[in-house]
């Protein structure tokens, strides 16, 4: 059995974003919690007892408080069900939550050497004491079994694979602490429960839907995919900034090269968009864009959505 909980479905900044007055953010402030999204992360477990996070968002503390599966077990003075965190990139919205996990519980951070180099070059991450928090390098196309804090097998397999993307934006124009070449800045993950043979894909950042990527995920029961923007230039058109989706390493949902069209011919049971920016009109339940999204078989998940495979 594989249990997956969407801790957050929003992109960097979340919904609403602290300094944003766009339509989506205003609606999220005024209509209660239905529209609100924390920053993207999911938790998964093979046994329902030990959990792994994919990315640690700046909203992690709020996400853990809202997720009973991740609370300390009854009667324990200090305990967490979280056995590890797997990082798919070095963006702020993927790593900042690690700083909220500094109170001495043992777990492992799994990340590509390029992302580990970013952590190593920022001394604030030394609040994660190496005695408790191991940093384990993972390689592109090298499957591994994440371990429990006592070293026991989890029964799970994680396969990282390269996805078209880019380095963290705060490194733009700077020397990458992990070196400038090769894959590793943006990973997709295939998570498998080895005993049950169940698996899902997590691809929350993807600059282009390639044929290789399509071949990888065809036939999956569950795919989380990059839903940052509806159209490539939506932030510019809305007056929210000068960045396109592409320039941030995110393919649009719409358009002939967009995720909806490019993945339409695949046999995937359940498709969910994740990392949805507050500028994306598909967030709004009554929008035409939401209708198109749902009619194409995609779901815009609420935070806290749990899926069992």
Q: Which is nearer to Zn ion, 24 or 90 (CB)?
A: 24
Query: Total residues at the site for Zn ion (CB under 5 A)?
Result: 4
Strand partners, 19: none
Q: Which is nearer to Zn ion, 38 or 67 (CB)?
A: 38
Residue listed under structure tokens 């990458």: 176
- Is 20 a binder of Zn ion (CB under 5 A)? yes
Q: Which is nearer to Zn ion, 154 or 278 (CB)?
A: 278
Integer Cα distance of 49 and 65 in angstroms: 17
- Is 278 a binder of Zn ion (CB under 5 A)? yes
Q: Which is nearer to Zn ion, 20 or 307 (CB)?
A: 20
Q: Find the binder of Zn ion among 2, 6, 25, 159 (CB under 5 A).
A: 25
Closest CA to 158 of 251, 87, 99, 56: 87
- Is 229 a binder of Zn ion (CB under 5 A)? no
Q: Which is nearer to Zn ion, 274 or 276 (CB)?
A: 276
- Is 27 a binder of Zn ion (CB under 5 A)? no
Least Å from the CB of residue 16 to Zn ion: 6
Least Å from the CB of residue 38 to Zn ion: 14
- Is 293 a binder of Zn ion (CB under 5 A)? no
Least Å from the CB of residue 28 to Zn ion: 8
**What DSSP element (H or E) covers 29?**
helix 23-30
Integer Cα distance of 100 and 283 in angstroms: 28
DSSP assignment of 87-141 equals -S---HHHHGGGGG--SS--EEEEEEHHHHHHHHH-GGGGGS-TTTEEEEEE-TT
- Pure H helices in 145-265: 211-217, 234-237, 259-262
Find all residues with CB under 8 Å of 172, minimum gap 6, and list them. none
Least Å from the CB of residue 112 to Zn ion: 31
Find all residues with CB under 8 Å of 80, minimum gap 6, and list them. 70, 72, 105, 107
Q: Which is nearer to Zn ion, 39 or 278 (CB)?
A: 278
Q: Which two tokens stand for residue 47?
A: 């046994």
- Is 22 a binder of Zn ion (CB under 5 A)? yes
Q: Which is nearer to Zn ion, 20 or 203 (CB)?
A: 20
- Is 28 a binder of Zn ion (CB under 5 A)? no
Find all residues with CB under 8 Å of 158, minimum gap 6, and list them. 86, 110, 138, 143, 144, 145, 146, 189, 190, 191, 192
- Is 283 a binder of Zn ion (CB under 5 A)? no
- Is 9 a binder of Zn ion (CB under 5 A)? no
Least Å from the CB of residue 281 to Zn ion: 11
Least Å from the CB of residue 65 to Zn ion: 24
Interface positions with Zn ion (CB under 5 A): 20, 22, 25, 278
């Amino acid at each position: 059995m594989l249990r997956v909980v969407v801790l957050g479905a929003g992109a960097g900044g979340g919904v609403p974003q602290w300094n944003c007055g766009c339509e989506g953010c205003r609606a999220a402030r005024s209509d209660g919690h239905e529209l609100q999204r924390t920053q993207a992360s999911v938790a998964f477990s093979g046994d329902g007892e030990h959990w792994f996070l994919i990315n640690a968002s700046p909203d992690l503390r709020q996400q853990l408080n809202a997720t009973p599966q991740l609370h300390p077990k009854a009667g324990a003075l200090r305990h967490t069900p979280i056995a590890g965190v797997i990082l798919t990139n070095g963006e702020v919205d993927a790593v900042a939550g690690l700083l909220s996990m500094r109170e001495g519980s043992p777990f492992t951070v799994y990340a590509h050497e390029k992302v580990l180099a970013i952590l190593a070059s920022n001394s604030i991450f030394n609040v994660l004491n190496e005695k408790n928090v191991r940093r384990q390098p993972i390689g592109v196309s090298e499957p591994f079994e994440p371990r429990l804090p006592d070293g026991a097998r989890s029964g799970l397999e994680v396969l990282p694979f390269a996805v078209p993307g880019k380095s963290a934006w705060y490194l733009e124009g700077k020397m990458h602490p992990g070196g400038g070449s090769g894959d590793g800045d943006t990973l997709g993950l295939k998570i498998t429960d080895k005993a049950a043979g169940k698996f899902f894909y997590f691809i929350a950042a993807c600059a282009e839907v390639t044929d290789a990527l399509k071949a990888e995920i065809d036939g999956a029961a569950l795919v989380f995919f990059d839903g940052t923007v509806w159209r490539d230039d939506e932030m510019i058109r809305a007056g929210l900034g000068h960045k396109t989706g592409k320039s941030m390493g995110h393919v649009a949902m719409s358009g002939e090269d967009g995720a909806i069209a490019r993945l339409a011919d695949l046999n995937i049971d359940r498709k969910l968009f994740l990392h949805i920016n507050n500028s994306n009109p598909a967030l709004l339940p009554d929008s035409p864009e939401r209708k198109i999204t749902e009619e194409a078989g995609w779901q815009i998940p609420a935070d806290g959505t749990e899926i069992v495979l």
